[in-house]
Structure 1
Amino acid sequence: MDTIFALATARGRAGVAVIRLSGAAALGASARLMRSVPVARGVRQLHDAEGALLDEALVLQFPEGRSFTGEPVIELHLHGSPAVVAAVLRVLGNDPQLRAAEPGEFTRRALENGRLDLAQVEGLADLIDAETDAQRRQAVRVFSGALGEIAESWRVRLIRAAALIEATIDFADEEVPVDVTPEVRELVQGVRREMHRESEGVRVAERLRDGFEVAIIGEPNVGKSTLLNRLAGRDVAITSEIAGTTRDVIEVRMDLEGLPVTLLDTAGLRDTDDIVEGIGVSRARARAEEADIRVHMLDSDDDIPQDAGDSDIYVRSKADLLGPGVAAVSGKTGAGVDQLVARISSLLQERVASVGVAMKERHRVAMVQAVGYLTNVEESLDLEDGMADLLAEDLRSAIRAVDSLVGRVDVEHVLDEIFASFCIGK
């Protein structure tokens, strides 16, 4: 396998820049840079092919089996000058035993060498992209191997169930001393329930990863854009006394008490003959329907329904124009805004509580497939004799679905898409 290299830190001026080499030729390449025998770690001068000094760097060596990729790895910790980095990369690029790494290639080698499973790779990608603390915590759980541990638990129990069923096939002409049905049923039911619960949390996990959407809706001039500006802490939406000022959906991404949230300021909902405003109203209705939470801003308490749904919050607007003690919100003065934010956060935290460790649609599909096979097994256990072969095949299919969660089988088609999201040095 080729020996690869890449800049592992961000480009641009910095205190330290790290270049990583991975593969059998990494040690030899570093020795040529240092013009000496490589050492496990230490500060060394790096030279080009003509002997000119490039930089003085900290050189770290990670032996095979103890590195991130599982291969021999050398890290060069350089001074973070763009000129220094460019010079060292140029020398490495001229080495015939090395080649520049492709996006995500270091992590792909970690997968291929058994250092990570596929779920951990996905967790690592999400950890790199995490913007809020909630996203970080979720990604760390998956990267630490939590999904792999659960999948292994399911796999062990399903293999036990399959072994019991296949024992009845092997001894079909003899009397099996113990009825295996009760144990098989207990194993299958336990796994099925856990899988179903885990799959139910995937959609919320996806929203946690990609960000929740909160739409602010209401009639024109009810104060939607002013509230958005207050929540964002800056003027992101134009406000005026002219009805219909907001024509399109304005989006602001923010961290709301640790949760990633995109606030949507929508066009005022009303009937209009203005074609452009009409398009804005249609878009507003569509985006609001898809949002996780809708904040309805109203001019009167009489418009607030008593049976609001879990995804709808109704608030009286323009608290600055009302008397003291009136429950309302004002984007202009900030009155009631903290209470509104707390209410939104509480609703989202309740949903996040259902999140497990599975976080991708791929995970959900695999678990739903496995649940289908296990349901077939449960329904067929009490049927007449002769079903053992079909039960065993359903259990094997369920095991293959579980294996696909962590990349043991049937995942080659998703690898290119996953690794394309990684930077070159990862």
Structure 2
Amino acid sequence: MNLSYAPSTIAAIATAPGRGGVGVIRVSGRDLLPFAQAISGGKTPKPRYALYTDFVAADGSALDNGLLLFFPGPNSFTGEDVIELQGHGGPVVLRMLLARCIELGARHAEPGEFTRRAFLNDKMDLAQAESVVDLIDAASETAARGALKSLKGAFSGEIHQLVDELITLRMLVEATLDFPEEDIDFLKAADATGKLSAIRQRLSRVQATARQGAILREGMHVVLVGEPNVGKSSLMNALAGDEVAIVTDIAGTTRDTVREEILIDEVPVHVIDTAGLRDTDDVVEKIGIERTWQAVERADVALVLVDGREGITGSVGTILARLPERLPRIFVFNKIDLVGETPRVGDEDGHEVVHLSAATHAGVDLLKARLLALIGFQGDAEGVFLARERHLDAIRRAGAHLDTAAVEWQQVEIFAEELRLAQNALSEITGEFTADDLLGVIFSRFCIGK
């Protein structure tokens, strides 16, 4: 049996690859009741009720059995008719069932296409759509709670409130353009600058919350650099709480970058242990040193390890000279257990310094606290929603336009234009004002079936 459906019907396996007790096929399109009847052997599912049935092939033989759920649009995830087939979780049976869906007229869904349809059908805005994948990829419980807040509209609600206030102010300002001889007096009487100040303050609070959310989502990349045998691998293990890097007294043991993701107060931290930086004739070690400098270029923070017994030597100075100027760094004086020092943090000669022992872990918590402080994480994630770099960029641009508006408010046409540009920047966050190519980039990063 071959039924004809609109080309917009899509299908995909919605569960992760591998074997499991349950596997889910998701289908979305228009007028899918005949589709549901065909794959269930002629049964008519009741909307939003689970139907236990065989899933049948074209000749009527059973491919699998399980639950069929039918969600008529627009009351569904995508806003279209949606069918979920919940069968057994083996990869072979799921492929057979997906092939049957394609045979009935569906096509393979693209990455993120279900969520994209939900966005295009006004079931969620763009910030909420992005939070779907953020919830799936959350690296900590706090990040998961933040993603759920965004999915339920907390971030979008803040942005909509700002946009509404901007629209109200724009209406006030643009109304004066028809009466240029009275515009300044009218704006003063209406307290336009006071309203603008309130909007800027609200934007500042949203920016601070979004910045915390971006840290929770993205984490930070920390690279360990220094001469050979100063304890980089030992510190890597101390931060990770596991023996992830080989530690010996032989200089040059680490010949390649070693990466480990850890959590510090729920913040993901990507720690990169690198080859010791020195002149060498060893071909393999040279390659490792080159990769070290590549890791440095991509890092958010550099931990410059120094042997606490020797201090900052000329070789360390050579390393410092090559570090990118924009890269924040913390000097870590290691091996204090060998000289009888106690752990401490401070500012020495204009450098942020932590004295610790990677071998005994004394002072490692002090370093973790300094890392969080360096990236601006405040430690209280209550009320934080997850945000992305594009969100922060839009907020920064909106803030810049509002700053200009505050300076140029007596030039009414400039004032009105800056308010319009600020509104457009904020509307990019929720997708009310955005380019189609941006949508393609965002949804292409989703997994199949979402």
TM-score tier by shorter-chain length is 0.7 to 0.9
Partners of 1:107 and 1:175 lie apart in 2 by 46
Between 1:24-33 and 1:342-351, the stretch displaced more is 342-351
1:149-160 equivalences under 5 Å are 149-160=157-168
Deviation per CA, 1:37-75, whole angstroms, max 9, x where unpaired? 222322122222211122221122223232111122121
Work out the CA distance in 1 between the residues paired with 2:181 and 2:307: 80
Q: Which digits, 9 at most, give the CA deviation of each residue in 1:348-392, with x for residues without a partner?
A: 16722398647223223322332233223222224xxxx433332
Of residues 25, 30, 51, the one that matches 2:60 is 51
Counterpart CA distance in 2 for 1:228 and 1:347 is 14
Report the CA distance between 1:398 and its aligned residue: 2.0
Structure 2 residue aligned with 1:77: 86
SS in 2 for 1:147: helix
| Equivalences, count | 413
- Please state how far the C-alpha of 1:92 moved relative to its aligned partner: 1.1
Alignment partner for residue 61 of structure 1, among 61, 64, 70? 70
Within the alignment, does 1:353 sit opposite 2:360 as a pair? no
Question: Match for residue 273 of structure 2?
Answer: 265
Deviates more, 1:134-143 or 1:116-125: 134-143
- Say which of 362, 366, 380 aligns to 2:408: 380
Tell me the secondary structure at the aligned position of residue 376 of structure 2.
helix
* Aligned position for 1:210: 218
Gaps of 5+ in 1: none
TM-score by length of 1: 0.84
Q: Secondary structure at the match of 1:390?
A: helix
**Is it true that 1:17 corresponds to 2:28 in the alignment?**
no
Q: What SS is found at the alignment partner of 1:261?
A: strand
Equivalent position SS for 1:228: helix
| Aligned counterpart, 1:229 | 237
The 8 Å contact of residues 198 and 357 in structure 1, kept in 2 or not, is answered as no
TM-score, structure 2 normalization = 0.80
Q: SS of the residue aligned with 1:67?
A: coil
User: What residue is the counterpart of 2:38 in the other structure?
Assistant: 32
| 1:147 and 2:155 are equivalent in the alignment | yes
Partners in 1 of 2:290 and 2:96 — Cα distance? Answer: 55
Pick closer, same or farther for the CA change 1:126–1:187 going to 2, 3 Å. same
Corresponding residue of 1:132: 140
Give 1:251-330 correspondences, 5 Å limit: 251-270=259-278, 280=288, 284=292, 287=295, 291-300=299-308, 303=311, 311-312=329-330, 314-317=332-335, 319=337, 321=338, 326-327=342-343, 329-330=356-357
Counterpart CA distance in 2 for 1:403 and 1:32 is 43
Give the one of 422, 430, 434 matched to 1:406. 430
Sequence identity percentage: 37
Does the CA contact (< 8 Å) of 2:309 and 2:335 recur in 1? no
Q: 10, 13, 22: which one pairs with 1:7?
A: 13
Unaligned ranges ≥5, structure 2 = 1-5, 313-326, 344-354
Distance 1:169 1:221, change over 3 A: closer
- Residue 393 of structure 2 corresponds to 365
RMSD of the alignment, in Å? 3.4
Secondary structure of 1:353's counterpart equals coil
Change (3 A) 1:288 1:257: same
2-structure distance, mates of 1:318, 1:340: 12
**Residues 126/278 of structure 1: CA separation in 2 closer, same or farther (3 Å cut):** same
Any conservation in 2 of the 1:30–1:74 contact (CA below 8 Å)?
Answer: yes
Equivalent of 2:129, from 121, 125, 130? Answer: 121
